[in-house]
Amino acid sequence: MTNSRYEYVREFERENILLPETHIIIRVDGRGFHKFSDRYSFDKPNDERALKVINLSALQLMKQMPDIMMAYGDSDEYSFLLRKQCDLFERREFKLITTFSSTFSAYYQYYWNQECSDKPLSVERLPTFDARAVVYPTDDTIRDYFRWRQVDCHINNLYNTTFWNLVVKGGMTPKEAENRLIGTLSSDKNEILFEQFGINYNDEPEIYKKGTTYIRESIPDTTGSSELSKRQLDRLQKKLRKSEIKELHGDLIKDEFWNSRPWLLS
Amino acid sequence: MTNSRYEYVREFERENILLPETHIIIRVDGRGFHKFSDRYSFDKPNDERALKVINLSALQLMKQMPDIMMAYGDSDEYSFLLRKQCDLFERREFKLITTFSSTFSAYYQYYWNQECSDKPLSVERLPTFDARAVVYPTDDTIRDYFRWRQVDCHINNLYNTTFWNLVVKGGMTPKEAENRLIGTLSSDKNEILFEQFGINYNDEPEIYKKGTTYIRESIPDTTGSSELSKRQLDRLQKKLRKSEIKELHGDLIKDEFWNSRPWLLS
Amino acid sequence: MTNSRYEYVREFERENILLPETHIIIRVDGRGFHKFSDRYSFDKPNDERALKVINLSALQLMKQMPDIMMAYGDSDEYSFLLRKQCDLFERREFKLITTFSSTFSAYYQYYWNQECSDKPLSVERLPTFDARAVVYPTDDTIRDYFRWRQVDCHINNLYNTTFWNLVVKGGMTPKEAENRLIGTLSSDKNEILFEQFGINYNDEPEIYKKGTTYIRESIPDTTGSSELSKRQLDRLQKKLRKSEIKELHGDLIKDEFWNSRPWLLS
Amino acid sequence: MTNSRYEYVREFERENILLPETHIIIRVDGRGFHKFSDRYSFDKPNDERALKVINLSALQLMKQMPDIMMAYGDSDEYSFLLRKQCDLFERREFKLITTFSSTFSAYYQYYWNQECSDKPLSVERLPTFDARAVVYPTDDTIRDYFRWRQVDCHINNLYNTTFWNLVVKGGMTPKEAENRLIGTLSSDKNEILFEQFGINYNDEPEIYKKGTTYIRESIPDTTGSSELSKRQLDRLQKKLRKSEIKELHGDLIKDEFWNSRPWLLS
């Protein structure tokens, strides 16, 4: 940008730098995806192709941004964990969140066009995502963050599975199904599924019950150090970029997941 | 989102509410568009179709968001002026900027596929935009903001026009053209264009020299009031949504533009 | 501060710069003044000497800080209006509010020792004040801010006057007086005062009913300009410093106060 | 505060909540203490009574606020470390910093009147302090913070000791002493002191060379837990309030200080 007598207006800009030495988590969240899934006739309770599109988008973002150590998502949302020493965009919040929301939306549209070319997107309802960044100062809070999202996935999926079975196989109207489920516990829903539809919820695919986790494998030793030279940092970035990314659909709630992957929080 | 013992992690979220009774300007800015324009072989100095794509995106965003009173853009950036009483997303900054960056990127990809289907996008280089919000408390600062962007457009376009004529018609390497222009004033560049290439810069298309402005026309009287009832607000939104949007390529620097459209800043 | 290998810890500091071209209001508020007034046996409902102490403190602060255009206070609080172009501490919030809280507390203790030397302060209960800064972008919001505080003063003083008459002259316990006043309107309290104690609330001293306002008089013409040279700024500061400060106990709610003093909001 | 139609002005208030699960450090800093020390003829390079006044103020603040685990200060500044789970004022920044600046200033004036009654304070130059809060997410950054301040104390004290010996005993003007010291290393200053004034800097009092540290001793086991019931919290506060506070003038740079007091950072 060039200089002029009007440039003083930049003094009104404000910038939030996310606290150093903390883990940044950025969560992208589909905007109006209830209507989006109606408009493009998603399978209920889970649309396999839409799930593939969002997962491809998350994976691609992780490939592009070597600072992402882990991603977890389900339905229309994804959370990305950046490494503690990450200095992407000098930790400027607006750059981080608008880059994530913009790039994730771009990938989603791209992969949608590829995977669902039979359902072309209309300009009135394009897929878009908002994004927010939160910093967590301790390992425990990071673990609990992902536990929170996975419990949320479980609760929603159990609800949706029961709801849509009541509607599709049970012949209820959506309103009736909703009323049927008011006040029910998990055990009640499990029972409805089993008694009425012969479905054992435990046998449902893990990807629906547990969501999808991507983790970056085989991290170089230097990750922990906070005082890397420019050269060491370049080398680290290169290694991170080349490191394998693994897809899982397992449990994030037990300590085992975290204890066996110490580099995620190092 | 559902309740669980892990939900306490939400206490780490922070939210910035943009100051009420001020004008919000949101500027979206192409990420890495220098490389993007190389990758997709943009015409130089200005690519007519790319310009059409970004303008269609801005116009569509303005149609979707009735709170946008005016938009101004050129090259790979666009600034949107929200009306003073705008309460979109309760003025939460993260929602506003990630929605703008995400939606603008979505439109750009959509219109690109439509307008430039001969240059299909590759997943390695999709068009994305960051976004920032700034609040301005006075009419003068708003006017000066747009003046700042239009002066910037002028300076860049004059430079680029001269640079690319030196390269394309003058046979210079980019490096030679760059060196030739170091330290030159506007008058020098005008002279190069005229003497060497017979181009009178004043005759260049207004859309390149002045950028593109969209303004919302015929605003209802109630805009100024800060105490609208829910019902009045709905009616206002409906009127704004239906109001005509005009495209201009004129001067924003002289007072005339602003004085003749008092409703923009009301 | 000196350089050392540990100085990187400064990168964790965050700074909030208050938006330019807005009016800053800083309100100082007594901490635990209910207990303070008990501990030092204030006269009820109003202690003349304590009022003198807080007013002297506010006046002295205004003398020291030429950027303060107006002050308004009652009970244990004071609000200070800074001029729109004020650049005190480069508008850094932490500097502004901690300087105001610290300096106001210092003056209060100083004048207390002078005015109430018969009630020496104990280290367990020294007078202290917190402070907050708020920026207001329009003249109307500034006017309404002071109206808010003056309405608050009126409501509190009417309540306290009635309450303490019920206790002191009416022989009620504080609990009985409190219960007597639950659900009463202003008119009810006026009637209690008149019927039971022969007091016409309108005849109470203005300083109790309306609080105290200090305004800086005779402002130089240059105030409005936002582009002062260093030299013009020094001259303005000098004039502001020498300008007369007037004490009022009048109405801030009607427009008349503001319309007749345009320089306050210029 | 009472309700009125003007109360909407509160919507312009902004609040910063300091990140949970981090250590808060609040540093108070004397405002204009160079002039203050001139006005009240401080002994140079160190005024024993002024040091006593600031230390009494810090100790008293620590007694009043059980959440302060440690304090460190020298010259005209003091840093206070709050315990990690501290929820004082719900971690609202403005409350924390204005309470610290205000209370510290109040104590300073109080103890000054007691200790230096031969030098009565003038209203034109009362002692005041600004304050800022910084949050640190890791133990290492906390340790380095206090190391930073202690290195700073050492460098300043060595400079001042040499400077004032050159002036007072060496007969130099302040300007001459300043010029003499430009570009000198620590070793040079040590040599000047020894060669010219027979002073072995190592023999200077520890309180001048190392500053003053207060630490809260004998902490109950529960400190570490982040999930205290209201009752446990009350009990913890009571224990903290009664716990002994120790004064030290020792080394904070070596790990030994921190390793032997794990409860400070627990």
Residue that the structure tokens 């207004």 belong to: B206
What average pLDDT does this structure show over B139-160? 97
Tell me how close the Cα of A224 comes to any Cα of chain B, in angstroms: 24
Q: Report CB contact under 8 Å: A20, C11.
A: yes
At residue B229, the pLDDT reads 80
| Mutant choice from A130, A141, A185 vs B, greatest count of B C-beta within 10 A | A130
Strand partners, D24: D135
C32 marked among binding-site residues: yes
Whether D53 is covered by a domain: the verdict is yes
Percent helix / strand / coil, chain B, rounded to 5: 55, 15, 30
> Which residue in chain D has the smallest CA separation from C32?
D99
At residue A228, the pLDDT reads 73
Asked whether the predicted pLDDT for residue B227 surpasses 80, the reply is no
Whether A144 is covered by a domain: the verdict is yes
Two tokens, residue C159: 């309540």
Neighbours of chain A (3+ CB pairs under 8 A): B, C, D
| Mutant choice from C18, C22, C86, C134 vs B, greatest count of B C-beta within 10 A | C22
> How far apart, in whole angstroms, are the C-alpha atoms of residue D114 and residue D110?
7
Q: Report CB contact under 8 Å: C132, D13.
A: yes
Mean pLDDT by 10 residues, chain A (266 residues): 82 97 98 97 96 98 96 98 96 98 98 98 98 97 98 97 97 97 96 97 97 86 62 86 94 96 90
Q: Measured between CB atoms, which of C19, C136, C141 is closest to B135?
A: C19
Residues of A with CB under 8 A from a CB of D: 19-22, 135-138, 141
Residue that the structure tokens 């965003």 belong to: B61
Q: Measured between CB atoms, which of B99, B100, B141 is closest to A9?
A: B141
CATH code of the domain covering residue A110: 3.30.70.3000
C226 marked among binding-site residues: no
Burial C108-142 (b: 16+ CB within 10 A, else e): bbbbbbeebeeeebeeeebbbbbbbbbbbbbeebb
Whether D76 is covered by a domain: the verdict is yes
| Mutant choice from C2, C8, C9 vs D, greatest count of D C-beta within 10 A | C9
> Whole domain around residue C121: which residue ranges?
15-151+206-264
B104 marked among binding-site residues: no
The mean pLDDT value of chain B amounts to 94
Tell me how close the Cα of B222 comes to any Cα of chain C, in angstroms: 18
At residue B226, the pLDDT reads 57
Tell me how close the Cα of B97 comes to any Cα of chain A, in angstroms: 7
| Chains A & C: contacts with CB separation below 8 Å | 10
> How far apart, in whole angstroms, are the C-alpha atoms of residue C38 and residue C35?
5
Q: What is the 3-class SS of C117-166, one letter each residue? A: CCCCCCHHHCCCEEEEEEEECCHHHHHHHHHHHHHHHHHHHHHHHHHHHH
Q: pLDDT tens, A23-81?
A: 999 999 999 999 999 999 999 999 999 999 999 999 999 999 999 999 999 999 999 99
Whether D97 is covered by a domain: the verdict is yes
At residue B111, the pLDDT reads 98
Tell me how close the Cα of D195 comes to any Cα of chain C, in angstroms: 26
Is beta strand D212-216 parallel, antiparallel or unpaired with respect to D77-82?
A: unpaired
At residue A238, the pLDDT reads 87
At residue C219, the pLDDT reads 66
Whether C166 is covered by a domain: the verdict is no
> Which residue in chain A has the smallest CA separation from C11?
A20
Tell me how close the Cα of C59 comes to any Cα of chain D, in angstroms: 12
Indicate the pLDDT class of residue B205, thresholds 50, 70 and 90. very high
Tell me how close the Cα of C9 comes to any Cα of chain D, in angstroms: 6
> How far apart, in whole angstroms, are the C-alpha atoms of residue A79 and residue A72?
5
At residue B108, the pLDDT reads 98
**Contact (Cβ atoms closer than 8 angstroms) between residue B38 and residue B76:** no
Asked whether the predicted pLDDT for residue D1 surpasses 60, the reply is no
| Mutant choice from D14, D19, D93 vs A, greatest count of A C-beta within 10 A | D19
At residue A222, the pLDDT reads 52
| Mutant choice from B60, B64, B98 vs A, greatest count of A C-beta within 10 A | B98
> How far apart, in whole angstroms, are the C-alpha atoms of residue A95 and residue A15?
10
Q: Measured between CB atoms, which of D9, D98, D102 is closest to C141?
A: D9
| Mutant choice from D22, D226, D266 vs A, greatest count of A C-beta within 10 A | D22
Query: pLDDT per position in chain C (266 positions), as tens?
Result: 456 899 999 999 999 999 999 999 999 999 999 999 999 999 999 999 999 999 999 999 999 999 999 999 999 999 999 999 999 999 999 999 999 999 999 999 999 999 999 999 999 999 999 999 999 999 999 999 999 999 999 999 999 999 999 999 999 999 999 999 999 999 999 999 999 999 999 999 999 999 999 999 966 565 445 567 888 888 888 888 889 999 999 999 999 999 999 999 97
Neighbours of chain B (3+ CB pairs under 8 A): A, C, D
> How far apart, in whole angstroms, are the C-alpha atoms of residue B159 and residue B122?
30
Q: Report CB contact under 8 Å: D128, C103.
A: yes
Asked whether the predicted pLDDT for residue B1 surpasses 50, the reply is no
**Contact (Cβ atoms closer than 8 angstroms) between residue A92 and residue A16:** yes
Which amino acid, residue C189? K
Residues of D in contact with A24 (CB under 8 A): none
> Which residue in chain D has the smallest CA separation from B17?
D14
Q: Report CB contact under 8 Å: C17, A12.
A: no
Q: Where are the alpha helices (DSSP H) in A45-185?
A: 48-64, 93-115, 139-168, 174-181
Q: pLDDT tens, B77-121?
A: 999 999 999 999 999 999 999 999 999 999 999 999 999 999 999
Indicate the pLDDT class of residue D234, thresholds 50, 70 and 90. confident
At residue A221, the pLDDT reads 60
Q: Measured between CB atoms, which of B106, B113, B127 is closest to A128?
A: B106
Q: Which of C170-179, C188-197, D2-11, D201-210 has the lowest mean pLDDT?
A: D2-11
Whether C258 is covered by a domain: the verdict is yes
Indicate the pLDDT class of residue D238, thresholds 50, 70 and 90. confident
Asked whether the predicted pLDDT for residue D240 surpasses 70, the reply is yes
* ipTM of this complex: 0.94
Q: Measured between CB atoms, which of D19, D136, D141 is closest to A135?
A: D19
Tell me how close the Cα of C21 comes to any Cα of chain B, in angstroms: 7
Sign (positive or negative) of CA dihedral D81, D83, D88, D90:
positive
The mean pLDDT value of chain D amounts to 94
Q: pLDDT tens, B19-61?
A: 999 999 999 999 999 999 999 999 999 999 999 999 999 999 9
D29 marked among binding-site residues: yes
> How far apart, in whole angstroms, are the C-alpha atoms of residue D146 and residue D258?
11
Residues of D in contact with A135 (CB under 8 A): 19
pTM metric for this prediction: 0.94
Residues of C in contact with D101 (CB under 8 A): 98-99, 101-102
B243 marked among binding-site residues: no
Asked whether the predicted pLDDT for residue B249 surpasses 80, the reply is yes
> How far apart, in whole angstroms, are the C-alpha atoms of residue B132 and residue B78?
11
Which amino acid, residue C50? A
At residue D219, the pLDDT reads 66
Q: Measured between CB atoms, which of B98, B110, B144 is closest to A98?
A: B98
Q: Report CB contact under 8 Å: C14, A17.
A: yes
Pick from B98, B104, B110: nearest CA to B79: B104
Whether A157 is covered by a domain: the verdict is no
B32 marked among binding-site residues: yes
Whether D37 is covered by a domain: the verdict is yes
Q: Report CB contact under 8 Å: B130, A99.
A: yes
Q: Report CB contact under 8 Å: B14, D17.
A: yes
What is the three-class DSSP state of B24?
strand
Tell me how close the Cα of D9 comes to any Cα of chain B, in angstroms: 10
B154 marked among binding-site residues: no
Residues of D in contact with C6 (CB under 8 A): 144-145, 147-148, 151
Q: Report CB contact under 8 Å: A21, D137.
A: yes
How many structural domains does chain A have? 1
Q: Report CB contact under 8 Å: D14, B17.
A: yes
Indicate the pLDDT class of residue D222, thresholds 50, 70 and 90. low
